[in-house]
Amino acid sequence: MKKLLILLLVCYSTAAFSQTKLVEKVPQVEGKIVIPYEKYVLDNGLTLVIHEDHSDPVVHVDVTYHVGSAREELNKSGFAHFFEHMMFQGSENVGDEEHFKFVTESGGTLNGTTNKDRTNYFETVPSNQLDVMLWLEADRMGFLLPAVTQEKFEVQRSTVKNEKGQNYNNRPYGLFGEVNAASLYPYGHPYSWLTIGKLEDLDRVDVSDLKKFFLRWYGPNNATLTIGGDVNPKEVVKKVEKYFGSIPSGPAVEPMKLAPVTLDKDRYVSYVDNNIRFPLLLFTFPTVPTYHEDEAALDCLSEILGAGKSSYFYKKFVLTQKAIQASTFHPTSELAGEFTMFTLPFPGQKLADFEKQVRDILVEFEANGVTDADIEKFKANYESNTINGLASVRGKVSQLAAYETFRGDPNYIAKDLERYLAVTKEDVIRVFNKYIKGKPAVIQSVLPNAETEPAAPDNYKPATEGENPFPTIDYSELSYNRPNDGKFDRSKKPVPGQSPLVKVPEIWKENWSNGMKIIGTESKEIPTVAIQITLNGGHQLDAKDPGKAGLAQLTASMMNEGTTSLTSEEFQEELRKIGSSISVYAGQNSTTISINTLLKNLDKTLALTEDVLMNPRFDQADFDRNKKQTIEGIKSSETDPAAIASLVYDKLIYGDNHIFSVPSSGVTETVENISLDDVKSFYKKYYSPSVGELVVVGDVSKEEILPKLSFLKNWKGEKVTIPSLKFTNTTGKTKIYLVDKKEAAQSQIRIGYLTDMEYSATGDYYNSYLMNYNLGGAFNSRINLKLREEKGWTYGARSYFDVGENPGPFTATAGVKANATDSSVYEFMTVISDYKENGITPAELEFMKKSIGQKDALSYETPGQKAGFLRRIVHYDLNENYVEDQMKILNKMTKKEIDQIAKDKLKTDQMVILVVGDEASNIEGLRKLGYEIVRLNTKGEPVDGNTMEGGK
């Protein structure tokens, strides 16, 4: 009898963990766009999709729950997003903050995202860490609720409020989406609020409400687990059965069906935003859901009207210097879509005039119709974007997960591409007539002040109370059903297998007689080529004439404005026809020409690259427009607290007379001094192969690419001397510098000093990077845990050393809620001082070594990652095996060494403490911290009565 009982238990256990059905297997097809996979369904309803790809020793795990803000109810918004936060706060067998800790110390990355229709959680890790990731995800799917406490609930509620403050209330134009949603959708419609929810809703709920929401929507039968990368599908199935098989199904989830949104007339709405300079005019028409038969044609219409330099909106508003930006876009969701047209007019113009001109564009479009070139460009860009989206295992897994969640078909990528490549001119005209022409819209005006007139007086005010006309959910009968695992002990974290062997990309090098240094690697995963030409100098060259700071960046902007044979519009159109991109931009130390193309269009793209590099157009009208846009952009940044903080902080760090105290874009006074002749002269003097570095990554060999780059090899240019700059730390005694941003919802904090370090892959900089990792370099760092996870004062806080070929600062930074400003400064300085005085703990040292030591598996996967790796080698003249040298340093690093670096580098008595926030409400608290307080204006200049003594 005993033997029979044991046999029955074994059979039951086997059944519990092995009833998994293979639904389909899709192989790779030569010459076709396919993401190969195997699809399974567990007995509890969990869908499992596996993508096998051994190109890199990494694995990506994605759990997508088919629940977003659309499953919330009136007066209970923000739950799905709230749970995105709560799911990282520990579960029954995973301690507080340990989810981030375990993933980070494995060398991986992780996050979660929420939108209207789904929530996903994902990790990318070395392939030996798969068991740990499955254990973590299964524990929060089946064992989260026992670990949810009121204390965690309160901390994360505060964190979400700070996210709302940082990304919405305190950000320029941050509230237009909230106003738009409430105005477009009926009262109570689940799209009538944003995913982040309303603060008043978060304030009225308690932890029990949140638990009920989890029980209703987060069962395995409402989830898709997608795993891709260096895995064996048979082994993956067994592991998933082990970790997820015993989790009970949740309540059945039926598809949500709502009537299409309609408007009976134009709805005019407006609000004042004190953080902006340019007013915003926004038209939004209700359209169709994702995957609707009309979606692709509407996307095409959106591109024709407002994407690229040949678009109607660009020509009507930007080219004529009426607006700094103007565009259209067509985002869609599971239940509805929104066709949006917007303009950001320069100040001093009437929004009513812009409304008329937007309507005139629609009339003009109807008269002109759609051209073959319009369709050609649209299809080329969609195909290019689709292929480039498959560059990483994360990109492929995310696509499989989305197709399974919303189509029930992971193999939808070819069908998706097909419906876009099938769009015709007639389709575009048809959807224009059906959804846009003569149809009512929400017309929103965002105003910089109360004196600015909206496009028309408001005629609509979203309802804020009344009966809910939409269905509600009965949460009363839900209860937690703890999984029964038999003898499986979930309290023990799985032991990872042996770390995978990481192969640094095989590289080739070449140096040309004109001074250009070339480095490349062949990558055959997708048929694309990425080329990066770096010309050293950038903003640093502005030091030769500081009165024209911003010249390097304005010259780069002009390089995007066509060639002597092609106007700016014509040049961009040639690129759009082949789905390629060429962009030129300048930063602090370099100008970069970034080129991306499908392999089949490489020759055409390089011909355009040669033309723009050797024959820039430099047209006066283009210059006038770019200069005006630059100046207005600078003026606009003067209202943004984060931009103000960056500007003032650089002034305090580098000193008033240093070129780096001025942004790369310049300031209004210096840009005003720049002429087109200055741009031409800068190009002639400093666009030269003598300071050039070339990186090639893609589906092309050295022998194939070099002949195609002969125009660069034959390039002649002047010898460039980059000015040598002096860097002196003049901070002196630690002080608080206060910039008054009246009634700011958040305060921006920057703390730091100018170091004497330059970049060194195996020297002082690398050692300092290791030291800072536990202080402010990782999510689980002391600074972030204190200010975000313990106090709930910020959406995120960190510290870092920002150095390159020149010395740069150590900086600690965060945006914090206004009423915690003084407390945040105190905690920042307390945490940094404690780390300096008492050093790293043995546990932190072990965490740092594990985390950084295993990161290499994720370092060379995408073309962008490979390009960054190669650029470091060629720019800093590094040994190709420098990563191995770094690992030796890491493995030998001791607590004593880290502690000494902290004492040397954390100069707590010589730091700038910058606060940009509301002075009236913060000044008394800041005084109590005991530092001298210096008052500055938004340009970093002293104001009258600027110095105030602090007191204990």
pLDDT, tens digit (0-9, with 9 covering 90-100), for 309-327:
999 999 999 999 999 999 9
Between residues 9 and 426, the one the model is more confident about: 426
* 151 and 279 part of one domain: no
Q: How confident is the model at residue 639 (pLDDT cuts 50, 70, 90)?
A: confident
Nearest to 13 by CA among 373, 599, 485, 482: 485
Nearest to 576 by CA among 600, 605, 556, 603: 605
The verdict on residue 397 lying in a domain is yes
* 759 CB-near residues (< 8 Å, 6+ apart): 765, 803, 804, 805, 876
* 292 and 402 part of one domain: yes
Q: How confident is the model at residue 1 (pLDDT cuts 50, 70, 90)?
A: very low
DSSP string computed for 469-526: -S-----TT--------TT--TTSPPPP-PPPPPPPPP-EEEE-TTS-EEEEEE--SS
C-beta separation of 229 from 392 below 8 A: no
Q: How confident is the model at residue 950 (pLDDT cuts 50, 70, 90)?
A: low
Is the pLDDT at 732 greater than 80, yes or no? yes
* 398 and 522 part of one domain: no
Q: What angle do CA 931, 933, 936 make, to 5 degrees?
A: 150
The verdict on residue 514 lying in a domain is yes
Neighbouring-strand partners of residue 512: none
User: Where a domain ends, among 395, 418, 447?
Assistant: 447
Share of the chain above pLDDT 70, in %: 97
C-beta separation of 869 from 878 below 8 A: no
CB atoms < 10 A from the CB of 461, how many? 10
pLDDT computed for residue 19 by the predictor: 76
* 207 and 285 part of one domain: no
User: Where a domain ends, among 680, 713, 746?
Assistant: 713
* 708 and 746 part of one domain: no
Find the CATH number of the domain harbouring 335.
3.30.830.10
pLDDT computed for residue 160 by the predictor: 86
* 753 and 701 part of one domain: no
Is the pLDDT at 410 greater than 80, yes or no? yes
pLDDT tens sequence across 517-552: 999 999 998 999 999 999 999 999 999 999 999 999
Identity of the amino acid at 927: R
CB atoms < 10 A from the CB of 113, how many? 15
The verdict on residue 294 lying in a domain is yes
Identity of the amino acid at 568: S
Task: Return d(Cα 83, Cα 605) in angstroms, integer.
Answer: 46
Q: How confident is the model at residue 762 (pLDDT cuts 50, 70, 90)?
A: very high
C-beta separation of 754 from 951 below 8 A: no
Cβ neighbourhood burial of 534 (10 Å; 0-12, 13-18, 19+): buried
Q: What angle do CA 319, 325, 327 make, to 5 degrees?
A: 95
C-beta separation of 833 from 773 below 8 A: no
| Helix extents (H) in 307-424 | 312-313, 351-368, 372-388, 393-407, 413-421
Task: Return d(Cα 363, Cα 372) in angstroms, integer.
Answer: 20
- Widest pairwise Cα distance in the chain: 98
* 831 and 685 part of one domain: no
The verdict on residue 475 lying in a domain is no
pLDDT computed for residue 7 by the predictor: 33
* 781 CB-near residues (< 8 Å, 6+ apart): 773, 774, 775, 798, 799
* 621 and 678 part of one domain: yes
User: Where a domain ends, among 678, 713, 748?
Assistant: 713
H or E segment and range at residue 909: none
* 667 and 786 part of one domain: no
Q: Domain range spanning residue 805?
A: 735-948
- What is the pTM assigned to this prediction? 0.91
C-beta separation of 396 from 35 below 8 A: yes
* 748 and 802 part of one domain: yes
| Strand pairing category for 590-598 and 119-126 | unpaired
The verdict on residue 720 lying in a domain is no
* 208 and 115 part of one domain: yes
pLDDT computed for residue 10 by the predictor: 35
pLDDT computed for residue 948 by the predictor: 55
pLDDT tens sequence across 122-175: 999 999 999 999 999 999 999 999 999 888 888 888 888 888 877 888 788 989
Average pLDDT over residues 717-735: 94
How many domains does one find in the chain? 4
CA distances from 195 to 111, 116, 200 (A): 16, 6, 14
DSSP string computed for 32-53: S----EEEEEETTS-EEEEEE-
The verdict on residue 896 lying in a domain is yes
Average pLDDT of the chain is 93
H or E segment and range at residue 182: helix 176-184
* 209 CB-near residues (< 8 Å, 6+ apart): 76, 79
* 238 and 285 part of one domain: no
pLDDT computed for residue 385 by the predictor: 94
C-beta separation of 451 from 274 below 8 A: no
Backbone phi, then psi, for 140, in 5-degree steps?
Answer: -85, -20
The verdict on residue 569 lying in a domain is yes
Cβ neighbourhood burial of 700 (10 Å; 0-12, 13-18, 19+): buried
* 904 CB-near residues (< 8 Å, 6+ apart): none
Nearest to 134 by CA among 248, 225, 228: 225
Task: Return d(Cα 754, Cα 367) in angstroms, integer.
Answer: 60
Residue tagged 């209330």 (tokens): 169
Q: How confident is the model at residue 13 (pLDDT cuts 50, 70, 90)?
A: very low
Mapped onto helix, strand or coil, the DSSP state of residue 225 is: strand
H or E segment and range at residue 696: strand 692-698
Task: Return d(Cα 739, Cα 254) in angstroms, integer.
Answer: 53
Between residues 14 and 85, the one the model is more confident about: 85
The verdict on residue 642 lying in a domain is yes
C-beta separation of 593 from 609 below 8 A: yes
Task: Return d(Cα 620, Cα 606) in angstroms, integer.
Answer: 26
Q: What is the CA radius of gyration of the chain?
A: 29
